[in-house]
Amino acid sequence: MRRLEFPARSIAARLFLTAAALSSAVLMLAGLALTEYYRRTAEDVFEQRLGVYLRAIVADVSESGEEGRSGPGQLGDPQFELARSGWYWQITRLDSEAHEIKASRSLFAARLPKLSDLGVPAEVGGVRRGVALGPDGRMLRIVERVIDVGDIGVYLVQVAATTEETEHQIARFRLSLIIAFSLLAIALALATAFQVRFGLRPLRLLQRELSVIRRGERQRIDGSYPSEVAPLAEELNLLISANRDIVERSRTQVGNLAHALKTPLSVIVNEADAAPGPLAEKVGEQATLMRDRLSFYLERARAAARAGAIGATTPAAPVVDALLRTFGKIYGERGVVFSGGAPPDLRFLGERQDLEEIIGNLLDNAGKWAAKEVRLTAALEHTATGRSLLAFTIDDDGPGLAADLREAAVRRGQRLDETKPGSGLGLSIVADLAADYGGSLRFAASPGGGLRAEVRLPGL
């Protein structure tokens, strides 16, 4: 059996659809039950009316004999006088070979079918009740009874009426019930929607509080919540606090490790420089390499800790503008112009120094290869899952980079041109930092003929 799937796995949709389905089922069952009850009641009332007419005719026959002169008059219903009106009575003498018949004027020389001939059993008291096709082609509900009035004779007394009136009453009742229950269903749906929205309001407030914390505008969840949600809010506050403590401890430990290792390495380098020789040169070279690698991995550890922090946000525009001015001055002697910028409302979900390092390394790399211009643009994108990303695009007008070399450019320590200054770590740092934040870095051909660097980072 397949499990019922709800749209977008929404709690509100689950609650609303469940309540709507149950309400509709209850209303439908109630409508069917009321309609059936009304049908039976209407039919009982109809048969009671026929029974009253039957007893009146039986009494008239018993008093007046076969003449039956007062029968129609005592019924007092003009429909028995109108031809083919659908209301009929008929008296048939059974103890005579001639089977004399007296009938209402409405029968108009036609005859009613006998229920006894149709196999309808008699009830207690000899009364038969049933439905049969009338002389006018309409279905009739018939009540008949055989009476023996002694020397006067034995008679079959029948009263019949069309079921159209009862069916019309039932149809009108059904229509009224459908209209009333439809209005009730709409009212219940609106009430359910309000109830679901009001009931889930604390969760929406909690979501907004978490969004405020994620933007760095607040340190903890504030406000009062219902007893069902309050423990969740408190646990989230504890989780946020524990996250900050872990990040701070990581930063402290990384700093301590940096100081503990850099000093001995500096001593080794200095001692190697003071004692010339092949061994000293080799020791100094490896110690310098160790110091560079140590600086890189320590910075990566700091960045990873910062990327896991909750509530750190950085306005993108000030960082971008400052970097564009700085590199414009650095590469201004070569005539390279740095242009572009970021919209003022964009915010990076991370530490300022990480954004500076990512954008700074990309601008520095573009400046090294550009002929005349480096241009930076930034925009906010939304993924199919609803996640917001800052998309930074940096274009230069340099020689560009072949497609097969673009992946190699982000490998740690990889330098594609030894004539350019650097350690080969800049782009790998950018790639690692972007990955730590759940972003990405890719290279493509720039429309101006150079290289385009595209980096995507979490943002608001």
| 217 within a domain of the structure (yes/no) | no
Residue 156 sits in a domain whose CATH number is 3.30.450
251 and 383 fall within a common domain: no
418 and 324 fall within a common domain: yes
334, two tokens: 């070569």
| 184 within a domain of the structure (yes/no) | no
260 and 320 fall within a common domain: no
Interstrand relation of 337-341 and 373-382 (parallel, antiparallel or unpaired) = parallel
Domain boundary among 141, 168, 195: 168
| 225 within a domain of the structure (yes/no) | no
| 252 within a domain of the structure (yes/no) | yes
- pLDDT at position 312 is 64
| 110 within a domain of the structure (yes/no) | yes
Q: What average pLDDT does the structure give for the chain?
A: 78
Rounded distance between C-alpha atoms, residue 46 and residue 57, angstroms:
17
Q: What percent of the chain has pLDDT over 90?
A: 5
CB of 300 closer than 8 Å to CB of 268: no
139 and 246 fall within a common domain: no
Domain of residue 429, residue span? 314-458
Q: Highest mean pLDDT: which of 287-291, 311-315, 433-437?
A: 433-437
| 173 within a domain of the structure (yes/no) | no
43, two tokens: 């039919």
74 and 151 fall within a common domain: yes
454 and 392 fall within a common domain: yes
61 and 113 fall within a common domain: yes
pLDDT at 1 over 50: no
Phi, psi at 342, each rounded to 5°:
-125, 145
pLDDT at 56 over 70: yes
269 and 338 fall within a common domain: no
Helix (H, G, I), strand (E, B) or coil at 434: helix
Domain boundary among 260, 287, 307: 307
Per-residue pLDDT reduced to its tens digit, 359-413: 888 888 888 888 888 899 888 888 777 778 888 999 988 887 777 776 666 654 4
18 and 164 fall within a common domain: yes
- pLDDT at position 69 is 44
CB of 261 closer than 8 Å to CB of 236: no
CB of 83 closer than 8 Å to CB of 103: no
- Measured CA to CA in angstroms, residue 359 lies from 64, 137, 331, 391 at distances of 117, 93, 16, 11
| 262 within a domain of the structure (yes/no) | yes
- pLDDT at position 180 is 92
Rounded distance between C-alpha atoms, residue 119 and residue 114, angstroms:
9
> Which amino acid is it at 426?
G
Per-residue pLDDT reduced to its tens digit, 36-52: 999 899 888 888 888 88
333 and 301 fall within a common domain: no
pLDDT at 163 over 60: yes
Q: Report the number of distinct structural domains present in the chain.
A: 3
- pLDDT at position 50 is 85
422 and 356 fall within a common domain: yes
Strands (DSSP E) along 298-403, which ranges?
314-315, 337-341, 347-348, 373-382, 388-396
Range with the poorest average pLDDT among 92-106, 166-180, 182-196, 238-252: 238-252
- Predicted confidence band at 419 (pLDDT cuts at 50, 70, 90)? very low
Per-residue pLDDT reduced to its tens digit, 320-364: 898 888 888 888 888 888 988 888 888 888 778 888 888 888 888
Domain boundary among 144, 168, 192: 168
Phi, psi at 104, each rounded to 5°:
-70, 155
- pLDDT at position 156 is 87
Per-residue pLDDT reduced to its tens digit, 57-105: 888 777 765 444 444 445 667 888 888 888 888 888 888 776 678 888 8
| 209 within a domain of the structure (yes/no) | no
Residue 319 sits in a domain whose CATH number is 3.30.565.10
292 and 378 fall within a common domain: no
